[in-house]
Amino acid sequence: MLRNYSNSRTLGENIRLGTLTAFTAGTINIASLLIFLSFTSNVTGHYAILAAEISQGNWTQVAVVGGWIFLFFFGGFVANLSVINLNRKSKYFAHALPIILEIFCLLAVGIYGQFYYQKTLEETEALVALMLFATGLQNGLTASISNFSVKTTHLTGTTTDLGILFSMFTQKRFRKNPELTARAKLLMSIMTAYVSGAVFSGLTYYHLEFRVFYVISLCLLVVIVYDFYKINLRHFYTQYRYYKIYHKPTFIAAMYYRIHSKDDKRTMSRPNTNAKLAFESK
């Protein structure tokens, strides 16, 4: 989900990434609405509030709402900064770092809310700011690595795009276009996951309260661990193939070979270190 970048990503990778992150975004948004009476997965409404506060001359609130908008922007900035600067060293780490930062932000909100929150205005504004930074990280990451195909923290553009696609599908030539049908599948999966996360948050908040942020962090952890598992599995398989070609008994290759090989066990006990590649001359 995280290791591939831009146009090298498959539809399945985008759907898995979009589904899991949209679910967490929906959960975050409803949790923040129930707790803080504020949306935190997008800033569309905050721009309207900012304009209203400017027109009324409430400069303190202008600074607060402006700070919220900036932190959402800054989250996207940090996410893409990680992607473009750390990609050469490790694509996985470059793409996982924003998710790790988001987890830390959400855990901070959950821990503070569970043990220290006194429901003051200042605390509420600070926690909303932290959550907006977290969702900005998520939205910036998913957009960056998917070439802007996946945006999961709000559904305005998703709903608009689906309306356009469904109007195009009234004609047969568009229904047979694989790119358009793939796009529709991706957007529908994001919309369904976002709504599912919102419903889940609404149903469980009154039982979990601030502990709902631990559940959200666990969902994001699944995104990181999944790719870590896939990368290491591929590494094991590469070592196994290396063993089969060269018959050099490295520990990792030998263990993988013992589990998966159907060849004669005597090959493991007495490996032929002088073996040549099949395409080498005798």
**253 falls within a domain:** no
For residues 62 and 53, the answer to whether their CB atoms sit within 8 Å is: yes
**120 falls within a domain:** yes
**249 falls within a domain:** no
Between these two residues, 238 and 208, which has the higher pLDDT value? Answer: 208
What is the reported pLDDT for 276? Answer: 45
Range of the domain at 211: 6-227
For residues 231 and 90, the answer to whether their CB atoms sit within 8 Å is: no
Distance, CA of 39 to CA of 32 (rounded, Å): 6
For residues 76-103, give the mean pLDDT: 86
Q: What 3-state DSSP class applies to 232?
A: helix
Under the banding of pLDDT at 50, 70 and 90, the label for residue 110 is: very high
Under the banding of pLDDT at 50, 70 and 90, the label for residue 272 is: very low
Using a pLDDT cut of 70, give the percent of the chain over it.
77
* pTM, to two decimals: 0.78
**187 falls within a domain:** yes
Under the banding of pLDDT at 50, 70 and 90, the label for residue 151 is: confident
**258 falls within a domain:** no
pLDDT at 249 over 60: no
Q: Which residues of 240-275 are buried (b: 16+ CB within 10 A; e: fewer)?
A: beebeebbeeeeebbebbeeeeeeeeeeeeebeeee
For residues 238 and 135, the answer to whether their CB atoms sit within 8 Å is: no
What is the reported pLDDT for 268? Answer: 43
For residues 94-122, give the mean pLDDT: 92
201: domain CATH number? 1.20.1250
Using a pLDDT cut of 90, give the percent of the chain over it.
46
Between these two residues, 130 and 260, which has the higher pLDDT value? Answer: 130
Q: How many CB atoms lie within 10 A of CB 183?
A: 18
How many domains is the chain partitioned into structurally?
1
Distance, CA of 197 to CA of 29 (rounded, Å): 9
What is the reported pLDDT for 146? Answer: 79
Under the banding of pLDDT at 50, 70 and 90, the label for residue 41 is: confident
Q: Which residues contact 38 (CB under 8 A, 6 or more apart)?
A: 32, 124, 128
For residues 277 and 245, the answer to whether their CB atoms sit within 8 Å is: yes
**282 falls within a domain:** no
Under the banding of pLDDT at 50, 70 and 90, the label for residue 245 is: low
**241 falls within a domain:** no
**278 falls within a domain:** no
Distance, CA of 257 to CA of 251 (rounded, Å): 10
Under the banding of pLDDT at 50, 70 and 90, the label for residue 85 is: confident
Q: What 3-state DSSP class applies to 238?
A: helix
